[in-house]
């Protein structure tokens, strides 16, 4: 399966991607994870991306497409892949089409802005291993400490309310138009992003015809 998960930040795309990866045994291509890794390692592209990420702005297309091109050449992508967080603009979608990247289905996971804000503002991340927790729905066993590596959890710079609102504004202006772009290709399917995690995964599998 060659799939795009589309929707606003905090709609549940990452959790859904994990379930799909486990079920389908294809890799998740998450630009956000790749960029955060580059930022953590202090690479030139990571430092360049960090200024945009900290401000809640979209990373430029040439950076995104360069990362994707390199990633899709790996052996594990030959049987399929799941894009999470990319493409984010019409320009990126056209660039993927121009490069012959096959997209079979676009699953739109949608949720209202105020729910998104509550979800993201409660996120806590492990700066060491990358596991993400939540103050309401996924608490660590010991408050403020990662279960896996016992590192102190942090609130990412892009998970404060002001930055979240900027990210949502950017999504509505630049990414939401992708719905019409892929609708014209007959590839869009819809998933209610207000569902609980287990319900969302079950419904997604049903929509995608996964048994």
- Identified catalytic residue from 36, 50, 119, 123: 123
Q: What is the rounded end-to-end Cα distance, in angstroms, of the chain?
A: 13
Q: Write down the catalytic residue from 13, 36, 50, 124.
A: 13
- CA angle, residues 189, 61, 70, in degrees to nearest 5: 85
Residue with tokens 């103050």: 135
CA–CA distance, 49 with 39 (Å, rounded to integer): 7
**Count of positions (residues) in the chain:** 211
Which one is catalytic: 36, 88, 119, 124? Answer: 88
Q: Is 13 a catalytic residue?
A: yes
* Angle at CA of residue 111, ends 110 and 117, nearest 5°: 135
DSSP code of residue 58: P
- Annotated catalytic, 124? no
Residue 189: name the closest of 87, 112, 103 by CA: 103
Q: Where are the beta strands (DSSP E) in the chain?
A: 2-6, 28-30, 81-84, 105-110, 123-125, 132-134, 188-192
Residue 169 appears among annotated catalytic residues: no
The yes-or-no answer on residue 206 being catalytic is no
The residue from 2, 156, 166, 187 that is catalytic is 156
Please confirm, yes or no, whether 123 is among the known catalytic residues. Answer: yes
Catalytic site residues?
A: 13, 88, 123, 156, 167
């Amino acid at each position: 399966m060659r799939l795009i998960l589309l929707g606003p930040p905090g709609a549940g795309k990452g959790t859904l991607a994990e379930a799909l990866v486990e079920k389908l045994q294809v890799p998740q291509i998450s630009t956000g994870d790749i960029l955060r890794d580059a930022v953590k390692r202090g690479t030139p592209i990571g430092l360049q991306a960090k200024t945009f990420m900290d401000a809640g702005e979209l990373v430029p297309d040439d950076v995104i497409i360069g990362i994707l091109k390199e990633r899709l050449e790996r052996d594990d992508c030959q049987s399929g892949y799941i894009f999470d967080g990319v493409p984010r603009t019409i320009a990126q979608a056209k660039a993927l089409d121009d490069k012959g990247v096959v997209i079979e289905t676009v699953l739109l996971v949608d949720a209202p802005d105020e729910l998104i804000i509550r979800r993201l503002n409660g996120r806590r991340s492990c700066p060491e291993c990358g596991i993400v927790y939540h103050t309401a729905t996924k608490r660590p066993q010991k408050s403020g400490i990662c279960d896996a590596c016992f590192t102190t959890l942090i609130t990412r710079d892009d998970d404060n309310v002001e930055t979240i609102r900027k990210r949502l504004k950017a999504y509505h202006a630049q990414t939401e138009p992708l719905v019409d772009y892929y609708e014209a290709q007959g590839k869009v399917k819809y998933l209610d992003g207000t569902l609980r995690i287990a319900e969302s995964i079950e419904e997604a599998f049903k929509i995608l015809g996964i048994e």
